[in-house]
Amino acid sequence: MRFIKPYVLLVIAGIFLLLGYVYFSFFSERLNRCTDVVAVTPWLAPIVWEGTFDAVLIDNIYKPMNLTVATTVFAVGKYVRFLQDFLETAEKHFMVGFHVRYYVFTDRPHDVPSVNLSQGRHLSVIQVPGSNRWQEISARRMEIIQTTIERQIRGEADYIFCLDVDSKFHAHWGSESLGRLVAVIHPGYYEQTRDRFPYERRPASTAYIPMDEGDYYYGGAMIGGFVEDVYTLAKVCRTRFEEDAGNSIEAAWQEESHLNRYLLDNKPSKVLSPEYLWQDFKAKTKEVKVIRFSGVIKNYADVRPNV
């Protein structure tokens, strides 16, 4: 399969950004009448909510590009039990009609379920070591994503989404989510002020964010964008984590803390609303019209090697 070069994607994205601006200008009056949400960041990146895009129109623009979307998921230890629901619901709702390559990282390859995949969609199982600490599994994720992009993904995909396995899809997730660097607003903090965000607050950590800084609190359960942009993110976060480890520091929320520091310095080109990362134990709020992807209810004492 022939893949589109990143610079060509940037030119195409620029054209669609201009078209999108015209469309958004026309659409904004209707949007303001139907919702109270903020649909653009202070640096003018779109925040994707229900009602801010036409799914059919956007998919019809992107599908002729013959794009391939990589999707990484970690099913380590008992978390492999969530994999079947993740894959089956992804086949119903995630990037339907696009080429998708799932990369499943697991220490239990024989427990990976057999799921019927649509044409143009493939699954690769990559064995990784287990761990006695869930924090180590979380922290090692950036390293594994970085090395797998180097060895395999950059030759097989144009875009990538790194998602959590203990989640499932409930509704359409399509090309409206594509962008150079894509982050998602954490559902637990989208109504909070930044002084309430659980950033790493110790200056000794490379993930440190002062109390008077910060844009949003981004969830670590979703990272996306061009393969090369996500590669750079993963590489920087891995390096910073290792620097902290050398100084006997572990950031408050491991990879999520380093992700938030990186995205403060390198603004995402698109931000997904909490529709794209809800939590099943939370009641749907008036702002959230559609739940597209959510973390399932679980007993952490049962699935984590340590709590």
Binding residues for UDP-N-acetyl-alpha-D-galactosamine: 74-76, 79, 164-166
- What is the β-pairing status of strands 68-74 and 159-164? parallel
Where is the binding site, in residues? 74-76, 79, 164-166, 186, 256
Annotated active-site residue in 91, 200, 255, 256: 256
Determine if residue 228 is left, alpha or beta; phi over 0 gives left, psi from -120 to 50 gives alpha, anything else beta. alpha
- Please name the residues in contact with 236: beta carbons below 8 A apart, sequence gap of 6 or more: 262
The C-alpha torsion from 274 through 104 and 175 to 9, rounded to 10°, is: 120
Q: Is residue 275 among the annotated active site residues?
A: no
Asked whether the beta carbons of 108 and 75 are under 8 A apart, the reply is yes
Asked whether the beta carbons of 291 and 170 are under 8 A apart, the reply is yes
**What is the distance of C-alpha 248 from the center of its chain?**
28
Where is the binding site for Mn(2+), in residues? 164, 166
- Please name the residues in contact with 160: beta carbons below 8 A apart, sequence gap of 6 or more: 69, 70, 71, 72, 149, 153, 224, 225, 226, 227, 230
Question: What stretch of H or E contains 62?
Answer: helix 55-62
CA neighbor of 169 nearest in space, from 251, 94, 105: 94
Amino acid at position 199, single letter: Y
| Catalytically annotated residues | 256
